[in-house]
């Protein structure tokens, strides 16, 4: 093996948006959830993370940069992902560069990782989902890991729960699993990206500020204090998951929209039921809900579903392109863009 070389690999992973939400862990360190969840992965290139991983004998330690700024890799979550991926590394040969890395070499070699999000980080747009999924995927490719996407998803899960769902496109279910060691808590694809491709997802950025309560601490507080969370995890979500799977298989938009909206609202109700209460949505978010609800009720069938994650930004899923263009007209009318904001991020003005 030549002494001075560098091997790099770049991958891109889109974020995913849950339509049946994950909120609450039964095991904090392994990141095991209290209920199954279902998400839709966005098309590549939109809200996504691009990660380049590099390995070289010249590197003296593992290092990582996020959006150009160095961040620490010492946290348990990064360490779990790196450990699990390294343990599965296999021989790699790059004939062009004359590089041969044996399974054993990976234990000694250090990595440099550079990751960019093309959307606001930690603003409730699931940046950790795309980020950790991309990290695990790109390292897996670099190290010639032979596991399938479900197995990789169980590793990404240990970086950030929702990340496990970004290993697949289309509609994805994160099965909570039963095993104490988390081996069966992984993602499976319910339907690929072509299955229901008339849906159009529009993200209305209400605020790109970082959220005050991180998802990790928010869900910990909900598990400790919310009775509604217990009811939701045991009684509500298991039935909803079955109905949502059916709605997706049958491309039944009316059921899909009813379930997604109800689940988003219940997740935010759990946040309110937490002590102290957590407010992720703001007045603009509430006005968007009103606007969509009124519109859906004025039509024969629902046109748009809404769902909100741990932040005020609205994820709106239109049944088809026609509904999407009407939705954009309505949003522009009721929430005119703020001219002072960056053109790249369309921020809804509050015209109340």
Measured from the CB atom, the residue of 23 and 106 that comes closer to ligand 2P0 is: 23
Site membership for ligand 2P0, residue 266 (CB under 6 A): no
Write down the least CB distance from residue 21 to ligand 2P0, Å.
Answer: 4
Candidate list 158, 215, 285, 296; residue touching ligand 2P0; CB under 6 A: 215
CB of 135 to ligand 2P0, least distance (A): 13
Residue placing its CB nearer to ligand 2P0 in the complex, 25 or 319: 25
* CA distances to 54, 162, 220, 272 from 33, in Å: 32, 10, 11, 20
Does 161 contact ligand 2P0 by CB under 6 A? Answer: yes
Q: Where are the alpha helices (DSSP H) in 101-236?
A: 105-108, 127-142, 149-157, 215-225, 227-231
Exposed e or buried b per residue across 60-71, where buried means at least 16 C-beta atoms within 10 angstroms of its C-beta:
eebbbebeeeee
Pick the closer one to ligand 2P0 by CB: 117 or 303.
Answer: 117
Q: What residues from 28 to 47 belong to the interface with ligand 2P0 (CB under 6 A)?
A: 31, 37
Stretch that binds ligand 2P0, among 5-13, 14-22, 50-58, 147-155 (CB under 6 A): 14-22
The residue sitting closest to ligand 2P0, measured at its beta carbon, is 161
What are phi and psi for residue 238, nearest 5 degrees?
Answer: -55, -40
Stretch that binds ligand 2P0, among 4-12, 79-87, 155-163, 323-331 (CB under 6 A): 155-163
Size of the chain, expressed as the number of residues it contains = 352
CA distance 193 to 290: 30
Residue 136 to residue 125: CA distance in whole angstroms: 19
Least Å distance, CB 86 to ligand 2P0, is 21
CA distances from 114 to 8, 110, 131 (A): 11, 14, 11
Nearer to ligand 2P0, 176 or 247 (CB): 176
Stretch that binds ligand 2P0, among 95-103, 157-165, 175-183, 342-350 (CB under 6 A): 157-165
By CB under 6 A, residue 222 contacts ligand 2P0: no
Q: Does 21 bind ligand 2P0 (CB under 6 A)?
A: yes
Write down the least CB distance from residue 148 to ligand 2P0, Å: 22
Q: Yes or no: say if 335 and 349 are a contact pair by the CB < 8 Å rule.
A: yes
Least CB distance to ligand 2P0 at residue 108 (A): 30
d(CA 290, CA 67): 36
Using CA atoms, how far apart are residues 120 and 74, in angstroms rounded to an integer?
23
List the Cα angle 269/273/275 in 5-degree steps. 145
We find the least distance from the C-beta atom of residue 54 to ligand 2P0, in angstroms, to be 25
Q: How many residues interact with ligand 2P0 (rule CB under 6 A)?
A: 16
Site residues for ligand 2P0, window 268-327 (CB under 6 A)? 309-310
CA-CA distance, 113 to 124, in Å (whole number)? 23
Q: Which of 138, 160, 274, 296 binds ligand 2P0 (CB under 6 A)?
A: 160
Residue 162 within binding range of ligand 2P0, rule CB under 6 A: yes
CA 253 to mean position of chain CA atoms = 22
The tally of CA atoms less than 13 A away on the side-chain side of residue 197 is 6
Binding flag, residue 260, ligand 2P0 (CB under 6 A): no
Shortest distance (Å) from residue 222 CB to ligand 2P0: 11
- DSSP states of 216-272: HHHHHHHHHH-HHHHHIIIIIHHHHHHHHHHHHHTT-HHHHHHHHHHHHHHHHHHHH
Among 22, 106, 306, 335, binds ligand 2P0 (CB under 6 A): 22
* Sites of contact with ligand 2P0 (CB under 6 A): 18, 21-23, 31, 37, 126, 128, 160-162, 215-216, 267, 309-310
């Amino acid at each position: 093996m030549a002494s001075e070389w560098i091997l790099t690999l770049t991958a891109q992973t889109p974020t995913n948006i849950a339509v049946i939400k994950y909120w609450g862990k039964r095991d904090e360190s392994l990141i095991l959830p209290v209920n199954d969840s279902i998400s839709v992965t966005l098309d590549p290139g939109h809200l996504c993370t691009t990660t380049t991983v590099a390995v070289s004998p010249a590197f003296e330690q593992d290092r990582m940069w996020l959006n150009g700024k160095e961040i620490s890799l010492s946290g348990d979550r990064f360490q779990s992902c790196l450990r699990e991926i390294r343990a599965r590394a296999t021989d790699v040969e790059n004939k062009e560069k004359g590089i041969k890395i044996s399974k054993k070499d990976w234990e000694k070699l250090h990595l440099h990782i550079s990751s960019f999000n093309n959307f606001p980080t930690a603003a409730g747009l699931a940046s950790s989902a795309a980020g950790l999924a991309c990290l695990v995927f790109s390292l897996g490719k670099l190290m010639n890991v032979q596991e399938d996407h479900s197995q990789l998803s169980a590793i990404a899960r240990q970086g950030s729960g929702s990340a496990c769902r970004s290993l697949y496109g289309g509609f994805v279910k994160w099965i909570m699993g039963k095993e104490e060691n988390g081996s069966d808590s992984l993602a499976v694809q319910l339907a690929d990206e072509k299955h229901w491709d008339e849906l159009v997802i529009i993200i209305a950025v209400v605020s790109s500020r970082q959220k005050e309560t991180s998802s990790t601490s928010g869900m910990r507080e909900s598990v400790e204090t919310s009775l509604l969370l217990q009811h939701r995890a045991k009684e509500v979500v298991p039935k909803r998951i079955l109905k949502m799977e059916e709605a997706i298989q049958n491309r039944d938009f009316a059921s899909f929209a009813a379930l997604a909206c109800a689940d988003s609202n219940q997740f935010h109700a759990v946040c309110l039921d937490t002590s102290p209460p957590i407010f992720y949505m703001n007045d603009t978010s509430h006005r968007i809900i009103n606007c969509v609800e009124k519109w859906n009720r004025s039509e024969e069938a629902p046109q748009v579903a809404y769902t909100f994650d741990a932040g005020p930004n609205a994820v709106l899923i239109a049944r088809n392109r026609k509904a999407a263009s009407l939705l954009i007209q309505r949003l522009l009318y009721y929430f005119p863009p703020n001219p002072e904001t960056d053109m790249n991020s369309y921020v809804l003005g509050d015209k109340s």
